[in-house]
A and B are shown apart, each in its own frame.
Chain A
Amino acid sequence: MTILNETSQDTSIPTVRSGESEATLRYYSASQWQLIWWRFRHHRTALAGGIVLIVIALAGAFAEFLTPYTGTTRNTEYLLGPPQPIRFWDTNGFSLRPFVHGVKTERDPVTLRPLPVADPETRWYIRFFTHGDSYTFFGLFRSDIHLFGTDEGFLHLFGTDDIGRDVFSRVLYAGRTSLSIGVLGVLIAFVLALIIGGIAGYFGGWIDYIIQRLTEIVRVAPVIPLYMGLAASFPREWSTEQVFFAMTLILGLVGWPTLSRRIRSQLLTLRNEDYVTAARLAGAKASRIISVHLLPAFSSYIIVDLVISFPYMILSETALSFVGLGLRPPAISWGVLLQEAQNIRAIQQAPWLFIPAAVLVIAVLAFTVLGDGLRDAADPYTVTGS
């Protein structure tokens, strides 16, 4: 039974008596956002997607603390080492404190490949709040406390790459970069789309005509060559941060047309509504009419659109970095990690280097189901299928 069905029954009985009616009362007095949230809550997959995203975002934000190593620390005793399984028991019995087996790396005498050999007799216990590589947290204070780590030996949950960097740590650091590129890129695209789409849709006529042609020009520009040209023009003196912001800006600058068109078409429909005419007759300025009367009318739609465009932004960054045009090492993003994994050695000898791909897929899926759930929830007054 949907909320709406409930309401339509309840409206025939105006008095409040039962518990069910209290819900009705709450429903009547609820704001639109509360309604959205109530409906969204029932969308389990979307909820799960949202939680996954929050986890990934938090993991990225607190990467320094959550990872045992920095993203660039090399462990030359464990080159191209596989993930170390966390254990609670082995042949020597059970331990409440999780541990990994000690590892000695020897070279295969024939292939000369470094072969990590786990020694089941030694245990490297995992401890919490260990001291390790020092880092600066949000530029505020220095610390060397890591959530977990080992006192002796080392701990690589996702294994290491061919110069001994911890893949787990790198995935977390990369998540921060990739997500923030997504967020910033979407925000830039969003603001541009609002302004451009708003003007075009509200004024219509020749202004709309010109803006639409401009939009088409941006849309027909082939994206990859455009990125290539722009990326190649980054001056080499630029630091990693500057390249990062430039990338974000580029993604935002080419990402607005779709949303801008949607806003425009919505506005074209809405601007002929009576209340808009009323506002106009009352002497409201165009900017006020657009921002106060028109945009809120389809804000839910905009939110959904935004959420759905996140994964495209992230994938664009990943694709660009993957082909070597985006972020460059030592910046770490999912794209950079995948780019580093694109060699035969990784494919044949170190499949764990593709863990970032799995995380990327999870993040993108999470965004998609979240967007899906939001779309359903966005307009709480509509009747859904059931």
Chain B
Amino acid sequence: MHKQMLRLSAILLAIGVILSACGAPSAETPATEVPAENPTTAPEGAGQADGGCPAVTVANDQGVAAGAFPQQYDLAEFQELAGCELAFSENPSIAELNARIGGNPADLPPVAERLPEESLVVAPYDSIGVYGGVLDGLSNATEAGTSDLLSLRHVNLVRYSDDLQTIVPNVAKGWQWNDDFTELTFSLRKGHKWSDGEPFTAEDVKFWYDDLILNTDIYPETPSRWLFDGEPMMVEVVDETTVKWTFPVPAPGVLNLMAVDYGQPFQPKHFLSQFHITYNPDADALAEEKGFENWAELLNNYYGGSDWKDVPSPLIDDSDTIVVPTLESHILVEETSEGRRIVANPFFHMVDTAGNQLPYINEINEVYMPDEEVRNLKITNGEVDYKTQAVFIENYSLYKENEAKGNYTVDLPVALGQNVFYAFNTTHKDEELRTIFNDLRFRQAMSLALNRDEINEVVYLGQGRPMQATPADPRTVTFVTEDHLTAFIEYDPDRAKSLLDEMGLVDSDGDGFREKLDGSPLVLLIQYSNQGAPVRLHELVKDYWEAVGIRADLKEVTSDEYREQANNNDLDLTVWRNDNTSGVTISGNTVRFIPPFGSYFNPGTGFEWDNWMNSDGAEGIEPPEDVKRLYELSTEWLQYSLGSEESNRIGAEIVDIHVQNLWKIGIVGDLSEPVVHHNTLANFPTYTARSYDYYWSYPYRAQQWYFNDQ
């Protein structure tokens, strides 16, 4: 026992040291000066670049007219508008970085040959940047809280501009809809190359859909958002740079989906086909040779078995030194259980308006840090260059007070999908609990028991608004009414108690807590991840529920454990932020409308209902009529453009059903949440909104961020 005494005193001592360290004046952190741009590595700072093109920025357009899309141009378009010829230059350390990319050719072709003939010219926000630097970022753990840093290097066919309303080209050069939204034609960039220098063509799009998404060895069940009224689309290669998607039903939301979804509708056929049985009849033998069961398992070792690209790569277990080539701005070169290093892609398709190939930043250093307090310490010490995900408003004061000391800035933009939900498991494996959770009175009582005003003050610094959870974020659509948002949000513990009494949940043994209908103890186990919601919130909710006689225990788990258990239908209730509910997301993806009311990453409830629907009644539990109606409505919903009269009518009915049933009990909405960036990180815009729904920083063009102290 002596050991524990030592341990405790060590902890106390450590606290003392931290205290004194915090108390000490931070004289050693002078305000960072912005050094003059280094002439040897920096391209032209402003004005005329080599090719004589004006260095257009968002802040100063240098008299050059705007192109077809805000803040960016096609190369030809830019040269015409600016009346100049753009000369390209590259990152001076690109050869070094290239040498670290497994499988890349040792000798890089000149930059002009690496860029597509039809490069995407982007206007930096404030100034032409400087190459170099390592961006230090934090994630919670492998596949937990990682999408934040993924969004920095992410690309897709299209993108939302930072106004979050305009869809602009990215990998695709342009797109064309037919009149009834059943045909979508993308034109790609001529000469666009994968990160290993191989050409990227329309075939890669077809390969992604026909050979991966629709292949039942890779996806036993096709991801629902890539099906349209249950049917696949048809992908047709028109020519090398043109690909046409034909949908069985109108699918106007697909383009939105493309702008915000993590899934990339293109995969390197030249690389992955070597493992694919359709292209390589010896793939099974190859798999066996490498120690895998079959070709699909081998392919998944590279591809990840999902279109979620953040699965462990072959680097983590040394099964290969090569990762799947990418079109993103950075590519993975090292991966361990502690973190990852990601370096600039020498074949990236963007240049700034001075002709410098992007990205400016050499490398991303991603460190896994599961402990929230350690993350907070690193942020307040200024050891983190950028952080958006899993930082919450409850710590805003802390971040703000340490801004000067850590030489960083914390903004508080509007945040979408932050309303935390508690969803009782209506298809619980335990029959007794299932009966209780399925009783609407129980869910109503649990909602009425919560003092949302107090939660707003204590957890959300008084900045939010008590609000019921709706499957559509009220700030992004018009069909969510005030009645929806205020349903059952009043604090009325007496009514909650009488509803529970009415159900027959009474405290028969006098311990202050109600028992189940069969008299055995009723204990809710709230398992939560600190990524999903502020931890204090659960403590308050537990208090409120216990005050009306429903005992609840708390248990913190990692996001991975949480998701695994939730998707295995093992939880009493799920709790997370109600994200992916903004108009853009739901317009192309109805996963929030139907059970389990969320994706793998963020499920709600009703797994067995979904199971029943998918198996045509062979398995699972038959859902109530309301749920069946939701399936019909969702199919219908996808066929109308967001904002149209029909879309609003269907949306309103969906929200009605959700709010009446309180499958998800919402807490506080209309929130803002912090975005942290180091002061040396330049070209960092003020965020219009902080949201996973717009894929974190994807709209804010991390490729043109740079370090002004390089």
Contacts and interface: CB of A to CB of B under 8 A. Distances in A.
Among A76, A79, A108, A329, find the residue whose CB has the most chain B CB atoms closer than 10 A. A76
Contacts of A342: 15, 373
Interface stretch (B2-10, B43-51, B269-277, B318-326): B2-10
B97 interface: no
Interface in A114-163: 114, 162-163
Contact of B401 (A111, A223, A239, A329): A111
A72 B7 contact: no
Contacts of B3: 223-224
Nearest to A354: B15
A112 B400 CA distance: 9
B503 interface: no
Given A76-B457, A76-B458, A347-B15, A163 B463 contact: no
B339 interface: no
B395 interface: yes
A84 to B, nearest CB: 20
Interface stretch (B114-122, B184-192, B284-292, B536-544): B536-544
B377 A351 contact: no
Nearest to A107: B462
Nearest to B513: A239
A110 interface: yes
B441 to A, nearest CB: 24
Contacts of A239: 511
Given A72-B543, A312-B5, A315-B5, A107 B398 contact: no
Interface stretch (A89-97, A316-324, A372-380): A316-324
Contacts of B15: 342, 347, 354, 357
Contacts of B4: 223-224, 312, 315-316, 319-320
B415 to A, nearest CB: 14
B540 A344 contact: no
Given A163-B458, A354-B15, A312 B1 contact: yes
Interface in B620-671: none
Contacts of B372: 343
A239 B512 CA distance: 11
Contacts of B462: 107, 112
Among B22, B372, B546, find the residue whose CB has the most chain A CB atoms closer than 10 A. B22
Contact of A345 (B395, B461, B463): B395
Contacts of A223: 1, 3-4
A349 B395 CA distance: 11
B11 interface: yes
Interface string B416-431: 0000000000000000
A319 B458 CA distance: 28
B95 interface: no
B536 A162 contact: yes
Contacts of B458: 74, 76, 79, 162-164
Interface in B1-30: 1-5, 7-8, 11-12, 15, 18-19, 22
B8 A319 contact: yes
Contacts of B525: 236
Nearest to A312: B1
Contacts of A343: 372-373, 376
Given A112-B461, A348-B401, A163 B540 contact: yes
A107 B377 CA distance: 23
Contacts of A351: 19
B454 interface: yes
B398 A344 contact: yes
Interface in B511-557: 511, 521, 523, 525, 536, 539-540, 543, 546, 553-554
Nearest to B525: A236
A279 to B, nearest CB: 35
A274 interface: no
B396 interface: yes
Interface in A281-315: 309, 311-313, 315
Contacts of B553: 236, 328
Contacts of B409: none
A173 B73 CA distance: 67
Given A163-B539, A319-B7, A74 B457 contact: no
Contacts of B18: 347
Nearest to A340: B539
Interface in A205-264: 223-224, 236-237, 239, 255
A78 to B, nearest CB: 11
Contacts of A162: 458, 536
A113 interface: yes
B380 interface: yes
Nearest to A357: B12
A172 B547 CA distance: 23
Contacts of B461: 107, 112-114
B397 interface: yes
Contacts of B12: 357, 361
B543 A112 contact: no
Contact of B380 (A311, A344, A354, A361): A344
Contacts of A107: 461-462
B462 to A, nearest CB: 6
Contacts of A309: 1
A318 B8 contact: yes
A258 B457 CA distance: 51
Contacts of A320: 4
A159 to B, nearest CB: 16
Contacts of B521: 237
A72 B546 CA distance: 12
B397 A111 contact: yes
Contact of A112 (B19, B463, B511, B546): B463
B2 to A, nearest CB: 7
A113 B401 contact: yes
B458 to A, nearest CB: 5
A341 B457 CA distance: 20
A239 B507 CA distance: 15
Contacts of B511: 239
B28 to A, nearest CB: 18
Nearest to A235: B523
Given A107-B462, A163-B540, A342-B373, A315 B397 contact: no
Contacts of B463: 112
Nearest to B377: A344
Interface in B388-407: 393, 395-398, 400-402
A111 B400 contact: yes
Nearest to A364: B5
Contacts of B401: 111, 113, 348-349
B400 A110 contact: yes
Contacts of A163: 458, 536, 539-540
B8 A344 contact: no
Contacts of B454: 74, 76
Given A342-B373, A344-B398, A347-B18, 20 more contacts: A74-B458, A112-B396, A112-B462, A162-B458, A163-B458, A163-B540, A164-B458, A223-B3, A224-B3, A237-B523, A312-B2, A320-B4, A343-B372, A344-B373, A345-B398, A347-B19, A348-B380, A349-B401, A354-B15, A354-B19
29 contacts: A74-B454, A74-B458, A76-B454, A107-B461, A108-B397, A110-B400, A111-B396, A112-B393, A112-B462, A113-B401, A163-B536, A163-B540, A223-B3, A224-B3, A236-B553, A237-B523, A239-B511, A315-B5, A316-B4, A319-B5, A319-B7, A322-B11, A343-B376, A344-B376, A345-B376, A345-B397, A347-B18, A349-B397, A357-B12
Interface of A: 72, 74, 76, 79, 107-108, 110-114, 162-164, 223-224, 236-237, 239, 255, 309, 311-313, 315-316, 318-320, 322, 328-330, 342-345, 347-349, 351, 354, 357, 361
The 3 A-B residue pairs with the shortest CB-CB distance in the complex, in nearest-first order:
A113-B397, A111-B400, A312-B1
Interface of B: 1-5, 7-8, 11-12, 15, 18-19, 22, 372-373, 376-377, 380, 393, 395-398, 400-402, 454, 457-458, 461-463, 511, 521, 523, 525, 536, 539-540, 543, 546, 553-554
